[in-house]
Structure 1
Amino acid sequence: MRTVLVTGLGGAGRTVVAAATALAAARGGERTLFLSADPGEVLGAPVRGGVETPEPVADGLWAARIEPAADFRAEFLSLQERCGAALDLLGAARLEDEELTELPGSEEFALLRALAHAARGDWDRIVLDLPPLRRAIALLALPEQLRRYLRRLLPRERQAARALRPVLAQLAGVPMPAQRLYETAERWDAELAAVQAVVDHPATAVRLVAEPGPAAADALRSARLGLALQGPAPDMVVANRVLPAETPDAWLAGLIAQQHKHLAELRTEYGTVCELPHLGRDPRGLDDLALLAPSDDALLAPGPGWTVEDRRSEDGGADGGFIVWRLPLPGAVKEELTLVRRGGELLVTAGPFRRIAPLPAALRRCTVAGAGLVDGELTVRFAPDPGLWPLGR
């Protein structure tokens, strides 16, 4: 199964490009599911089916509308039921379905749950319409971050003491935290792990959509850095609403010249760019989407991932060499880059983005010996700790 996550600048036509991508895959013979929180009528008619009951749109293509409000209410009521004993102990008045309204962040959680549910289906391709760039990058980082929080707040080793809680409750005279709290944490961790597995899968890619203009290059450059740190690498840059090359209209000619100048900048930076034409109208319906199908000829070459390189033998043997962790960070600036080692984790901050990355097993037995940033690649050097990694091994 291949998963395509479509994001881009606000107002650049992400939903249209996502729908066109899904239609092209379906017409290529793949069973395809198109997911969006706000598909509108881009497919020619409103999408009414949910994730559990997607609506057939064309041969090989199904679509589902993600409902953040309904998802929030269902999850909140489920959590309230699971934590009922603790709420009753506190004298809390439970909330009813009809008085619940979604909170900020509900859409992100609904999108993640929809992706996890869809990944369990029999699809050849899933196309997910993500929020704008910065929100999308934060969303892709969310599963790993939340799982880390759960491990810190409700560590698995403490769950072994669950059998003692009835005894402690009798001694204290009050109920102890319910077992359902840990069960809920385990359920959340399993759901987040399922989403993280989809995001981290080699067959998952991000497509970046922008309308060529002064803001596009800087925004995409920042997004590329964020994705290198937090999520899957982009497999395509889509320049949407490209105007025709020639026109007798002088005002429009100036706009076209500006577009093509920025298109040239994007080609210089990415090597290849998928250009989709401006239709002169808002795209609506399958016939319009067929005119906007992104071409696989514009796919970007896969970039290098995070790799560990053992250079001890090259640098003079086990007592004098290093193990190097290579982290590609295109667009990173040395002055905006910080590293902090904390136990078995490395805190990396690059510009506005931060990731707390678990160290590979071999590097947890090492000390940080230095780091450098050259041509968009961060290299962190580790020296084996003699107390944890005996010499000669």
Structure 2
Amino acid sequence: MILIFVGSGGGTTATAAAATAATAAAAGRRALIASIGPSHSINALVGVAAATAPHPIAPGLDFWALDALNDLSAVWGELRNRVSTLANLPINGDELPIIPGSDLFLAVARLRLMAPNYDLICLDAGHHDSLLRALVVPDTFRWVVRLLLGLDRGPGRSSSSISRALLPSAIMPFDWIAQVQEARVQLEHLRDETVNPTALRVRYVLRPDRSGLEEALNALPAIQLFGLLVEQIIVGPLLPEGVLALGPLIAEQRQILADAARFWGGLPQRRLEIAATPGSVPGLTALGAALYPDGQVLPHTDATTPLRIVGPPDPHVAIDLPGLRREALGLTVSGDELIVRAGPYRRHILMPEGLREGVAIRAARQGDTLIVRPRTG
């Protein structure tokens, strides 16, 4: 199982990820701490330097700081070996730019290959915007391909979109068009596999101040809008009670804890107390013991995807959007796509058969779940 730790910034996501993995290893599990991003602040937490491959730092515990540039070069080399039209391009892997969010896709793809070697992989993914930028890439690519070439295969296949495409297919090599279309399909499949809750889930690290809560009210449901299951909320770093000089800050964090319980009452919430940088695995294990006093470090085996797209005989789209305020939710239909807005985030969802081709729809919210069905009567 892979756990992605994201939040509204700072080093708390790294602390939560490292403490979770260290606690799992102390309980006899095989665990990996992984980090992406240029700074790898997690290095200071574990007290070791970054390495280009997983290496042991304690019994049952490995550490890996992934390098997006190296990963991109390796993937580009593999593509040039497999796709003949790319082989002659005078572009080396070290010349390619990093597309925003692609580092996360590359990291998860590599970690999934290593998942059989571990009981738990904890990935520090930093700010939630990076995760959401990665998840939106396949939708953006599909939109561009639809506009330029139309969609001739896979999800959303549409002969009408081909007839409206800006670039006439008759003037372009068939092999080139086929490879672009296949890349689009494979990218969407990759995301679907990535967000599968049987293999990957999210623990959201909530900063205990008003701005942190405001960010989470949009980001947490937006993560689920893309099919990723948020299974727990970790609130921290929390200041100790009883320090008179910190009275206003402690009062604010008390209110944030109460608000979080109100907005996300269905999600387990854990407390991450403020502490000095551990700098060692024993220090991380001590933090983890306080974070998981019940010893329940591993995710539960049962889980339901928060995005359910169902075809006939009962075509509908159901999305769990916990905590999303009414005014932050927006819906638009464009062709065969349902465009759902969660605050500043937006997702283009291909609707199932029975909701396409101009079918009138109705949307209703049942608790935290948005349900879209054909309009009847």
Asked if TM exceeds 0.5, the reply is: yes
- Corresponding residue number in structure 1 for 2:12: 13
Matched, 1:138 2:137: no
Q: Give the total of aligned pairs.
A: 347
Q: TM (normalized to structure 2)?
A: 0.75
* Residue 113 (structure 1) shift: 1.7
Could you say which residue in structure 2 is the equivalent of 1:167?
A: none
The answer on whether the counterparts of 2:205 and 2:236 sit within 8 Å (CA) in structure 1 is yes
Secondary structure of residue in 2 paired with 1:40: helix
SS in 2 for 1:118: helix
| Structure 1 residues 237-293: Cα deviation after superposition (integer angstroms, max 9, x where no partner) | 11122222223xx323443333223222223333342112212x2232101111221
- 1:126 corresponds to which residue? 121
> Contact 2:197 / 2:305 at 8 angstroms: preserved in 1?
no
Tell me the amino acid that sits aligned with residue 60 of structure 2: G
State the match for 1:114 in structure 2: 107
Kindly state the Cα deviation for residue 130 of structure 1 after the two structures are TM-superposed: 1.1
Q: Are residues 263 and 370 of structure 1, via their aligned partners in 2, closer, same or farther at CA, if it must alter by over 3 Å?
A: closer
How many Å separate the matches in 2 of 1:176 and 1:324? Answer: 37
Distance 2:338 2:217 in 1: 24
Residues 7, 207 of structure 1: 8 Å contact kept: yes
Judged with a 3 Å threshold, the aligned counterparts in structure 2 of structure 1 residues 157 and 103 are, in CA distance, closer, same or farther, namely closer
Identify if the C-alpha distance between structure 1 residues 192 and 15 changes in structure 2 by more than 3 Å, giving closer, same or farther.
farther
Structure 2 residue matching 1:360: 3-state secondary structure = coil
What's the % identity of the aligned pairs? Answer: 24
Shift of the 104–179 alpha-carbon distance from structure 1 to 2, 3 Å rule, reads closer
Give 1:36 shift.
0.8
**Residue 275 of structure 2 corresponds to residue 287 of structure 1:** no
Which residue identity lines up with residue 358 of structure 1 in the other structure? L
Identify the residue that residue 253 of structure 2 maps to in structure 1.
259
Which whole-Å CA distance do the structure 2 matches of 1:334 and 1:265 have between them? 17
Shift of 1:42: 1.8
Unmatched tracts of structure 1, length 5 or more: 159-171, 313-321, 386-393
Does the Cα contact within 8 Å between 1:12 and 1:240 map onto a contact in 2?
A: no
Q: Say whether 1:232 aligns with 2:266.
A: no
Select the structure of larger CA radius of gyration.
1
Q: Secondary structure at the match of 2:359?
A: strand
Distance in 2 (alpha carbons) for counterparts of 1:125 and 1:143 = 27
Q: Report the secondary structure of 1:222's partner residue.
A: helix
Q: What is the alpha-carbon distance in structure 1 between the residues aligned to residue 28 and residue 373 of structure 2?
A: 47
Quickly say closer, same or farther: Cα 1:308–1:143, change in 2 above 3 A: closer
Q: Which moved more, 1:322-331 or 1:198-207?
A: 322-331
Contact 2:329 2:343 in 1 (8 A): yes
Contact 2:235 2:270 in 1 (8 A): yes
Paired amino acid for 2:59: D
Structure 2, gaps ≥5 residues long = 155-169
- Asked whether the equivalents of residues 348 and 356 of structure 1 are also in contact (C-alpha less than 8 Å), the reply is yes
1:46 matches 2:38: no
